[in-house]
Amino acid sequence: RTALALREATAAGGWTLLDHPMLVLDVAGTPAFLEPDAVVVHPDGGWTVVEIKSFPMIDGSADAAKVGGAARQSAVYALALERVAARMDPAPPVRHHVLLVCPKDFSNLPTASAVDVRKQLSVTRRQLARLTRVEDIAAELPEGTTFDVRRPAAELTAAVESVPATYAPECLAACELAFHCRARARQAGEVTSLGRAIRGELGGLTSIGDVLAAARGEAGDPDDPAVATLRRAAGLRREALAGVGSPGGGATLQDVLTEEGQPCR
Ligand code: SF4
């Protein structure tokens, strides 16, 4: 129905505001239903996403982090609109500036600003293109796997554990499975449990065992910058501990730094 309303409004050649239109975006082969606050159809046939937020715009500017979040959200809507436009001939242009509407200076009056979402659009496009399709993930699962929450706990746990997970501390704020995945990651000694930034810096070293072996000089390519850095850090740690262990020092730095094989947090 939204596609039909957009088609009619575009053909009419005037200003039209669609209030909470429903859009669909294909995410890894699964339809995701989206509802922007509004979409404006311009007399020239262009479409603009309107996003209404409750954070204030003070003297024409708002909290950068909140504006960034609104821009990322609006970019997804713009992408869904582009998919609708692509099915029309000629395809109407979807504007890459969205209209952000906020309260003006803590008042009840609205104010608006155009936000450029070109960067967020290209990031979202890239992320969507890289997502593994749900069918491909499902094809890897053992026959008969189900995530039906009415199944016995042991069966459900086994089903969840049959799917690989890449836990990171950021999951704690966003996913209900975070505690489960954290326990799995710690048990497996995965470096992602220390955070995505650390995971990125460690390159090909994916387990805490690999990291410790590289730091001790037992494994790893010495020309690998990550391995070289770990060895240098391990040397500095040894020197620090030797200093602490000398007369007058305490022997507690090891407790503070790390236990063997265990991350600090
Ligand atoms: S906590 Fe959620 S997002 Fe994070 S790895 Fe597990 S399932 Fe994925």
pLDDT in tens, 239-254: 888 876 555 444 444 4
87 alpha carbon to ligand 1 midpoint, in Å? 35
Q: Is the Cβ atom of 6 under 6 angstroms away from ligand 1?
A: no
The helix (run of H) or strand (run of E) holding residue 178 is helix 178-188
| pTM given for the model | 0.62
Neighbours of 48 (CB within 10 A): 21
Q: Mean of the pLDDT values across residues 28-36?
A: 90
Helix, strand, or coil here: 102?
strand
- Between CA 54 and CA 253 the distance in angstroms is 48
Q: Mean of the pLDDT values across residues 26-51?
A: 93
| DSSP-assigned beta bridge partners for residue 84 | none
On the question of pLDDT at 257 being above 90, the answer is no
Q: Is the Cβ atom of 165 under 6 angstroms away from ligand 1?
A: yes
Helix axes 208-216, 225-245, angle to 10 degrees: 70
Most confident of 49-53, 85-89, 174-178: 49-53
CA-angle at 85, arms to 83 and 91, nearest 5°: 135
Q: Is the Cβ atom of 212 under 6 angstroms away from ligand 1?
A: no
**Ligand 1, atom 7: nearest CA belongs to which residue?**
177
| DSSP-assigned beta bridge partners for residue 94 | 47
Q: Quote the tokens at residue 253.
A: 């730095």
Quick one: 138 exposed, middle or buried, by C-beta within 10 A (0-12, 13-18, 19+)?
Answer: exposed
Q: Mean of the pLDDT values across residues 62-78?
A: 93
Q: Is the Cβ atom of 175 under 6 angstroms away from ligand 1?
A: yes
**Ligand 1, atom 1: nearest CA belongs to which residue?**
178
Residue 113 — very low, low, confident or very high, per pLDDT cuts 50/70/90? Answer: very high
- Between CA 228 and CA 29 the distance in angstroms is 42
